[in-house]
Structure 1
Amino acid sequence: MPQLSQIGEIYASQLFWLAIVFALIYFGIGKAMVPKIEKTVDDRNARIQGDIAAAEGARATALASERDYQAGLDSARSTATVAIAAAKTRVTASTEASLKTSDAAMAARIATATAQIESSKTAALAEIETATTDAVAQIVAKLSGVAVDRATIATRVKAELAHG
């Protein structure tokens, strides 16, 4: 076979060119492309590390802001609680004073009304006694024709009205 017979003649030449091509590929990729890829990877890692550091800083700032916010909120709550307690105390005192004033006024009005009722009752009873005494005197005079002493009739009417 003629193809196999020429292998010995061109074998060294093909190996030479194979070594040159591999060397070109090795140096082309290894010296030209790999540093660019490594630089890109390093830049990317540096950017990621910078972003992580910035995120940690922002997180720390946010946590500090949240602690400040919570402290302010707690302070506002305690201030509001104190203000509410003071307002309740003021309103309770005001209400109690108002109730005492109105209770005193109502007691005075009740006393006045009770006195008026008692005086009206006394006057009504006196009128009833007088009317009854007059009626009994007229009835006795008309039925028996005898004039009875008014003081005696008044005493008997009082006694009967007292017994009901």
Structure 2
Amino acid sequence: MPQIAQLTADNWYLASQLFWLLVVFAGIYVVIGRGMLPKIEATVDARDRKVADDLAAAKAAHAAADALEESYRQQTEASRAAAQKAVADAKGKAARDAEKRLAKVDVELGEKLSLAEADIAAARKSAMAEIESVAVEAASDLVAKLSGAKVAAADAKAAVKAVLHG
């Protein structure tokens, strides 16, 4: 192979190739090591700082959200307790009002019942008096029709009273 033969035959080529190899590597080192690498490191460091800052902000936001959630939960429980108390108070008041109304209605119904019983007793007494007078007339008429005898009103009344009252 001619490339390998060049290396062994003449040192001039070897030195020249080594020189240019060193020049190229030095150029690459200068361009990449001194020019690009600090920029890349700065970018990586900035990204690391940004990530760390974002993580710290996220932890702070998470802690704030937890505190807000706990505050919301306490407010909700307090509101629920207040609502339950208000409902219990309203039920108690409604029960007391209902008892008052029922007592008032009970008194009114008692009065109406007493009046109705008095009216019924008066109507019964009136009806019994009318039945008694109708029975007296009917008994007088029946005796007159059946036997042809005339019965005195006082006798007929006494007979009807005896039958009706026992």
TM (norm. structure 1) is 0.89
| Structure 2 SS opposite 1:130 | helix
- Unaligned 5+ residue runs, structure 1? none
- CA shift for structure 1 position 145: 4.3
Question: 17-26 or 45-54: which moved more?
Answer: 17-26
- CA shift for structure 1 position 80: 0.7
Matching of residue 46 in structure 1 with residue 49 in structure 2? yes
Q: Where does residue 17 of structure 1 map in the other structure? A: 20
Q: Where does residue 140 of structure 1 map in the other structure? A: 143
Q: Deviations over 1:33-58 (max 9, x none)?
A: 11110000000010111111111111
77, 81, 100: which one aligns with 2:80: 77
33, 36, 39: which one aligns with 1:33: 36
TM (norm. structure 2) is 0.88
Q: Deviations over 1:66-101 (max 9, x none)?
A: 111110110011111111111100000001110111
C-alpha separation in 2, matches of 1:136 and 1:27: 152
Matching of residue 125 in structure 1 with residue 113 in structure 2? no
57, 72, 76: which one aligns with 2:60: 57
C-alpha separation in 1, matches of 2:97 and 2:133: 53
C-alpha separation in 1, matches of 2:38 and 2:68: 44
- CA shift for structure 1 position 117: 1.2
| Structure 2 SS opposite 1:160 | helix
Question: 7-16 or 145-154: which moved more?
Answer: 145-154
Distance 1:24 1:84, change over 3 A: same
88, 91, 103: which one aligns with 2:91: 88
Matching of residue 8 in structure 1 with residue 11 in structure 2? yes
Matching of residue 99 in structure 1 with residue 102 in structure 2? yes
Q: How many residues align?
A: 163
- CA shift for structure 1 position 13: 1.7
Structure 1 runs (4+) greater than 6 angstroms displaced: none
User: Once the two structures are aligned, what percentage of the paired residues are identical?
Assistant: 40
RMSD, aligned CA? 2.0
Distance 1:17 1:100, change over 3 A: same
C-alpha separation in 2, matches of 1:96 and 1:33: 92
- Unaligned 5+ residue runs, structure 2? none
